[in-house]
Amino acid sequence: MKESSDLGSNADEHARRRARLAHMEADFAYFQARLEILGEPQSTNQLAQRKVFKLLHKSVGEKILLAKRRMIEEG
């Protein structure tokens, strides 16, 4: 009986990881879209927004790569 509960918990964990990955990918796409919409900054406010969105885009991209590597390693 324990094996079936272990398999269920492994499946649940895998589903949670996939959901987190999907959420990060959505965030990544959002930041990318914001950067494209912003274009070349015309004001200091837009310049600040661009810097923040670039930083967030890069950070989320790195987290996505790490998450995908972990998923591959764990099978």
pLDDT value at position 38? 93
| pLDDT for residue 10 | 83
Mean pLDDT per 10-residue interval, the chain, length 75 residues: 64 91 97 95 96 96 96 84
pLDDT the model gives residue 59? 97
CA distance 49 to 61: 18
CB 31: neighbour CB atoms within 10 A? Answer: 20
Q: What is the pLDDT of residue 1?
A: 47
CA neighbours closer than 13 Å in the CB half-sphere of residue 43: 4
- The greatest distance separating any two alpha carbons of the chain, rounded to the nearest whole angstrom, comes to 64
Distance CA 26, CA 60 (A): 10
The pTM score is 0.79
pLDDT of residue 23: 97
Is 27 in contact with 59 (CB distance < 8 Å)? no
- Report pLDDT for 18: 94
- The residue ranges of every structural domain in the chain are 2-74
